[in-house]
């Protein structure tokens, strides 16, 4: 396949809105665009959690904004703060709570990109006024036959195409990622070269909207506690109690709440299933004996507009693609077949012990991200 990589085709003098967070990556992206001669405006998104749940823990937004202001003032870059607390709650937060309550595994970072950073933010700033919107994401935008795709960054650990795999064409065509062709160590070197005030700042970890707040505390605030049984999946024996199925994920081993109980084999127990209606957690110490290598997906988002096979309606139609089940460098080869146009079955080349309904799956052909789907079962 021959693609046109638009990351290296910036015409100087473009009017660009740059989303800046206070971290090193977005700061370097802003500086690079400024040095290339573009007309840049920095935007800082203020989201709901920073005000509403700050009692749960320290939120870094004041530190973030301090760094952002220093960088913008030094280079005389206009800075605008966009409050999106209410919008964030109505989209990303409600989605997260709803998915957890239904026993599924949400991905708020994917939804944040879709609905906030490249959704409502576009509306807030009147996107037509700008040629492009830039961020510090580790990804690249490529074009083929007037369709836009994602390409992996050279840094496999930092690559963020998974989190961007559900974006639409209308969003991709407006985006540029100035550091997408760089590895993290190269970005750090640029931060030192530019003498940025946050050049030595550590990367943020965890879900984008939580800051330093623990995910369990966030869930506890909205869903509370509800005692239920922990059941041995194999023997149906009750092994203990929990405070709500929503605190547990498929494949979890630590913190299950059964006091490190092991049988004569000495194998630890893992969470293998959840019953959201009965509030039951099922555990097993035969978890790794089970072949967890098949899954069903739906809600497709193909960047090309159609699946990468001739006729997805044919049950016999199959193709092998690489897939990511979560952010990170690990991929599986998967045979994909389409029992119908609206769903597909994936057969992985090796088991994954953390497959759970609600997770996003990103599809790849080599370094090219083709889109995504959601695990239905």
369 is catalytic: no
**Catalytic entry in 59, 72, 208, 369:** 208
Beta-ladder partners of 298: 343, 374
Residue 1, C-beta contacts closer than 8 angstroms, at least 6 positions apart: 144, 365, 368
112 is catalytic: yes
Are the C-beta atoms of residues 132 and 144 closer than 8 Å to each other? no
| HSE toward the beta carbon, residue 218, CA cutoff 13 A | 25
Token pair belonging to 20: 């800046």
- Please report the DSSP string for 262-294 in residue order: --TT-PPPEEEEEETTTTEEEEES-GGGS---E
Which of 355, 314, 356, 351 minimizes the C-alpha distance to 336? Answer: 314
Are the C-beta atoms of residues 20 and 44 closer than 8 Å to each other? yes
Are the C-beta atoms of residues 85 and 92 closer than 8 Å to each other? no
Are the C-beta atoms of residues 228 and 281 closer than 8 Å to each other? yes
**Catalytic entry in 59, 72, 112, 369:** 112
Catalytic residue numbers read: 112, 208
């Amino acid at each position: 396949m021959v693609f046109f990589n638009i990351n290296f085709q910036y015409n100087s003098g473009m009017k660009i809105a740059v989303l800046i967070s206070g971290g090193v990556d977005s700061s370097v992206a802003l500086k690079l665009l400024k040095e290339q001669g573009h007309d840049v405006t920095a935007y800082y998104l203020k989201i709901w959690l920073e005000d509403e749940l700050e009692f749960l823990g320290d939120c870094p937004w004041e530190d973030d904004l301090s760094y952002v202001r220093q960088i913008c003032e030094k280079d005389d870059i206009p800075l605008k703060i966009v409050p999106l607390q209410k919008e964030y709650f109505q989209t990303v937060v409600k989605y997260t709570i709803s998915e957890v309550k239904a026993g599924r595994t949400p991905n708020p970072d994917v939804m944040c990109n879709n609905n906030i950073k490249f959704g409502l933010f576009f509306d807030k700033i009147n996107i037509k006024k700008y040629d492009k919107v830039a961020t510090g994401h580790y990804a690249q935008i490529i074009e083929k036959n007037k369709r836009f795709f994602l390409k992996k960054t050279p840094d496999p650990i930092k690559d963020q195409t998974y989190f961007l795999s559900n974006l639409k064409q209308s969003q991709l065509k407006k985006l540029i990622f100035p550091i997408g062709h760089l590895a993290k160590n190269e970005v750090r070197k640029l931060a030192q070269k530019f003498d940025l005030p946050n050049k030595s700042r550590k990367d943020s970890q965890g879900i984008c909207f939580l800051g330093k707040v623990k995910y369990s505390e966030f869930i506890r605030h909205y869903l509370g506690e509800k005692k239920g049984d922990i059941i041995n999946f194999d023997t149906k024996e009750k092994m203990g109690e929990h405070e709500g199925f929503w605190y547990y994920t498929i494949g979890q081993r630590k913190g299950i709440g059964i006091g490190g109980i092991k049988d004569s084999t000495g194998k630890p127990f893992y969470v293998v299933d959840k019953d959201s209606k009965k509030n039951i957690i099922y555990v097993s110490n035969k978890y790794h004996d089970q072949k967890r290598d098949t899954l069903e997906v739906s809600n497709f988002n193909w960047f090309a507009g159609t699946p990468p096979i001739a006729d997805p309606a044919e049950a016999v139609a199959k193709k092998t693609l690489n897939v990511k089940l979560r952010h990170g460098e690990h991929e599986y080869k998967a045979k994909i077949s389409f029992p119908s146009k609206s769903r597909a079955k994936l057969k992985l080349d090796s088991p994954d012990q953390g497959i759970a309904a609600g997770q996003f799956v990103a599809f790849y052909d080599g370094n090219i991200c083709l889109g995504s789907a959601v695990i239905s079962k």
